[in-house]
A = this chain, B = another copy of it.
């Protein structure tokens, strides 16, 4: 490899958090940009996505992805522009989806990036609505959740990245949709802006199970769970016969030092409900189908997203912690360059 003069600003993992992640767990570095070799591209990162799963990636535990090592660049999905290409099919100026990590100018193998179809959406759309976030909602609710018209869909983390898309897809699928979120502003967004049938402010409820029962008097057919812990137990107490619970995330537990024990699994026998985990990468072969559907719904005015954008890569380390305090409204991302 040869080294160019230009700088690649990046954040590496300094220490593994035991609970919630913060800026203190990452260290900034400035290194020289690596000139791309044959089959590689040099990128300028536009956005990095801030996702709850990133907390899992920095645990030193076996998971679906290997842990980020101490001193390694923090892993992150994002959108980037090709600055220089030595790979067929990619040219300077192309926009790509990739895992640039928390760095401004990564050099990556061409296989690790996917050229965007800019006619399908803006970089912001590719970051969320028609990107991994939207696809997670689409395949999660339709395939794992097996949602049918007229059913009652309950979504936790409903004002978050995936939750807001799931909630809208539920309405498109002619369901009654109830969201759970923290705080009056998020709940107003869900009902007034996204058209949900009801929103439950879990911070204002002493008995979440009772609040769900009031909002879903006939019970819940699909519970799309981004939160886990006590929220899952409250939903389990309200399942209908043959209900489906989609475990997309469990942000209440992801950074918890003590895990909550779920006591309501006995409900599964009487209801013959199922609980199933979701990882969008299982549907890679069908991503084009999902993106076409999502873009068409957006064009029809039935689907949109709220992005919560932090300005500057230096916001990323503290930004990750915001997720676990519920401080984001919509999908959280860091704008690295315009």
Chain A residues in the interface with B (C-beta under 8 A): 63-64, 228, 232, 247-250, 253-254, 259-263, 265-279, 282
Q: Which are the 5 A-B pairs with shortest beta-carbon distances?
A: A261-B261, A268-B277, A274-B276, A259-B263, A64-B270
- Which B-chain residue is minimally distant from A262 (CB atoms)? B262
Inside 8 A of A64's CB, which chain B residues have their CB?
269-270
- Which B-chain residue is minimally distant from A63 (CB atoms)? B270
Q: Given A277-B273, A279-B270, A265 and B63 touching (CB < 8 A)?
A: no
**Quick check: A265 and B275 within 8 Å, CB to CB?**
yes
**Quick check: A272 and B279 within 8 Å, CB to CB?**
yes
Query: Whole-angstrom distance from the CB of A73 to the nearest CB of chain B?
Result: 23
- Bound: A262/B276 CA distance, A: 15
**Quick check: B272 and A274 within 8 Å, CB to CB?**
no
**Quick check: B265 and A263 within 8 Å, CB to CB?**
no
**Quick check: A275 and B274 within 8 Å, CB to CB?**
yes
- Bound: A110/B268 CA distance, A: 32
**Quick check: B274 and A269 within 8 Å, CB to CB?**
no
Inside 8 A of A268's CB, which chain B residues have their CB?
247, 275-277
Inside 8 A of A277's CB, which chain B residues have their CB?
267-274
* Copies of this chain, tallied across the complex: 2
Query: Whole-angstrom distance from the CB of A260 to the nearest CB of chain B?
Result: 7
- Which B-chain residue is minimally distant from A241 (CB atoms)? B64
Inside 8 A of A260's CB, which chain B residues have their CB?
261, 263
- Which B-chain residue is minimally distant from A267 (CB atoms)? B277
Query: Whole-angstrom distance from the CB of A166 to the nearest CB of chain B?
Result: 16
- Bound: A249/B259 CA distance, A: 24
- Bound: A257/B68 CA distance, A: 43
Q: Given A274-B276, A274-B277, A269 and B249 touching (CB < 8 A)?
A: yes
Please give 12 more A-B residue pairs, beta carbons under 8 A apart, in addition to A64-B269, A228-B266.
Answer: A63-B270, A64-B270, A250-B265, A259-B263, A259-B266, A261-B262, A262-B263, A265-B275, A267-B277, A272-B276, A272-B277, A273-B276
- Bound: A271/B277 CA distance, A: 7
Query: Whole-angstrom distance from the CB of A271 to the nearest CB of chain B?
Result: 6
Inside 8 A of A276's CB, which chain B residues have their CB?
268, 272-275
**Quick check: A250 and B266 within 8 Å, CB to CB?**
yes
Q: Which of B254, B261, B273, B279 touches A263 (beta carbons < 8 Å)?
A: B261
- Bound: A253/B268 CA distance, A: 13
Inside 8 A of A249's CB, which chain B residues have their CB?
269
Query: Whole-angstrom distance from the CB of A331 to the nearest CB of chain B?
Result: 19
Inside 8 A of A282's CB, which chain B residues have their CB?
272
Query: Whole-angstrom distance from the CB of A143 to the nearest CB of chain B?
Result: 11
Of residues A63, A260, A270, which shows the largest number of chain B Cβ atoms within 10 Å of its Cβ?
A270
Query: Whole-angstrom distance from the CB of A207 to the nearest CB of chain B?
Result: 17
Inside 8 A of A228's CB, which chain B residues have their CB?
265-266
